[in-house]
Amino acid sequence: MADVLSQGEVESLLSALDSSVTEAPTPTEVTGFGANAIGQISVYDFKRPERVSKGQMRAFQAMHEGFGRELGASLSGMLRSIIEVKLISVDQLTYGEFVFSLENPTCFNLLYSEVLKGNFILDLNPSIVFPIVDRLLGGGKLASVNAPSRPLSEIELKLVARITVQAIKALENSWKNISQLELRVAQTESNPQLVQIVPPNEVIVLISFEITMGETRGIMNLCIPFNTIEPLTGKLSSDTWSAYTKQEISSEDKARLELGIGSAKVDVVATLSEINLSASDLLHLNVGDVILTERDVSRGISIQIEGQPTFTAEPGQLKGHKAFQIRESLLQPKDIIKQYLETHGDVAPRESGAKPKAQPQKTATK
């Protein structure tokens, strides 16, 4: 008599039979598709559309490499230490993923753009914020500083605001070829989940930097929501972001430059004459003695500005103080060279706009 199968054995056989019948065909068995065509298929998640193109991502990378260099230079001058700000990644993800990837507490700065009517986010990791604050307060002697797990105090927030100001200046300079951002700090939080500027599924561009100060390292994140920069997508996709055109100096910039240079202090020295004296003659000088020089009084005195002879002047007195009156300007070396070249006819003066004379050509006659 044949063995009778149990109910469990029958069900296992049926399940094995169903799996063999419903087995998926291999890629080469799909009608109309070859093995090469299957290899070119890429997975696309419709819940996370890539709203920023690859060209725009390259534009972000190029702009913010310059931002990192400028911010590193400004922080080095402020902290009197070598600070390096290096761009490490430019990614596209959702705002919810960005927020949940941050530490809590952290230094979460919400920046508002007056022009774009939108927000940027500048996040500073505590591992680099507290060493910078320690440096600003006179520390920095230790090779590394342990970052405490607590929010920043009011005094520490005031010090970190100086770093944020430098970052805003560098960010506005890196974006000036595209738009004048006019950023300002709208809010500073320690818990990033308390700030919801866009929906969690909104696409953002996350630009990450590594800040290095000695042996201390930390991460700085710049978050740019896509809806904030959406009006500028046309400029980001073209080459306008990298156009460095020579601009004419405006009257306002010229006046500001003249005002800044005009307030600079320079050393002015009036030299009456030069004479060689022996050490014994110098020791025997008394008040009222007269020193004879070979300089003619009609030549006046020489006025030197920052060690460079510039004017001749007449000595005198004004309101009880020793003074001198400018007689004429002395020729500078560049002026002497220019006069020499013009006199000998090697070059024509630029002011006259004249062209150099053509040399006569020799012709042969039979």
The pLDDT of residue 232:
81
Of these ranges, 21-30, 201-210, 241-250, 262-271, the one predicted with the greatest mean pLDDT is 201-210
Alpha carbons 171 and 173: distance in angstroms, whole number: 5
| CATH number, domain 54-242 | 3.40.1550.10
pLDDT digits (tens, 9 = 90+) for 84-101: 999 998 888 888 888 888
Q: For residue 355, is pLDDT > 50?
A: no
Higher pLDDT, 194 or 5: 194
Using DSSP's 3-state secondary structure scheme, residue 89 falls into: strand
| Residues 6+ away with beta carbon under 8 Å from 12 | none
Token pair, residue 52, equals 């920023």
Using DSSP's 3-state secondary structure scheme, residue 267 falls into: coil
Nearest of 71, 109, 80, 86 to residue 219 by alpha carbon: 86
Alpha carbons 303 and 323: distance in angstroms, whole number: 12
Give me the long-range contacts of 33-37 (CB less than 8 A, separation at least 24).
none
Alpha carbons 94 and 226: distance in angstroms, whole number: 10
On the CB side of 243, how many CA atoms lie within 13 Å of its CA? 13
Max CA distance (Å), the chain = 150
The pLDDT of residue 351:
44
Nearest of 151, 131, 150 to residue 141 by alpha carbon: 131
Give me the long-range contacts of 193-197 (CB less than 8 A, separation at least 24).
193/99, 193/100, 193/104, 195/108, 195/110, 195/121, 197/95, 197/110, 197/119, 197/121, 197/225
pLDDT digits (tens, 9 = 90+) for 200-223: 888 888 999 999 988 888 889 999
The pLDDT of residue 243:
44
| Residues 6+ away with beta carbon under 8 Å from 316 | 322, 323, 324, 325
Nearest of 102, 63, 17 to residue 244 by alpha carbon: 63
Q: What is the DSSP letter of 334?
A: H
Higher pLDDT, 226 or 52: 226
Of these ranges, 133-147, 186-200, 328-342, the one predicted with the greatest mean pLDDT is 186-200
The pLDDT of residue 30:
46
pLDDT digits (tens, 9 = 90+) for 289-315: 888 887 777 778 888 888 888 888 888
Q: Which amino acid is at 352?
A: S
Write down the mean pLDDT value for the chain.
78
Average pLDDT for 266-277 = 83
Q: For residue 249, is pLDDT > 80?
A: no
Query: Tokens 């805003």 identify what position?
Result: 168
Q: For residue 285, is pLDDT > 80?
A: yes
Token pair, residue 270, equals 């009036």
| Residues 6+ away with beta carbon under 8 Å from 263 | none
Token pair, residue 170, equals 């560098």
Q: How far is CA 73 from CA 63, 91, 218, in A?
A: 16, 25, 17
Q: Which amino acid is at 81?
A: S
- What would the DSSP string read from start to end of 54-83? HHHHHHHHHHHHHHHHHHHHHHHHHHTS-E
The distance of Cα 117 from the centroid of its chain, to the nearest Å, equals 23
Token pair, residue 76, equals 């080095």
Domain ranges of the chain: 54-242, 300-347
The pLDDT of residue 209:
93
The distance of Cα 42 from the centroid of its chain, to the nearest Å, equals 38
Helix (H) and strand (E) counts for the chain?
Answer: 11, 10
- What would the DSSP string read from start to end of 114-138? TTTTEEEEEEE-HHHHHHHHHHHTT
Phi, psi for residue 335 in degrees, rounded to 5: -70, -40
pTM of the model: 0.53
Alpha carbons 262 and 268: distance in angstroms, whole number: 15
Alpha carbons 144 and 150: distance in angstroms, whole number: 18
Residues 152, 155, 161, 166, CA torsion sign: negative
pLDDT digits (tens, 9 = 90+) for 136-185: 888 766 656 677 788 888 888 888 888 999 999 999 888 888 888 888 88
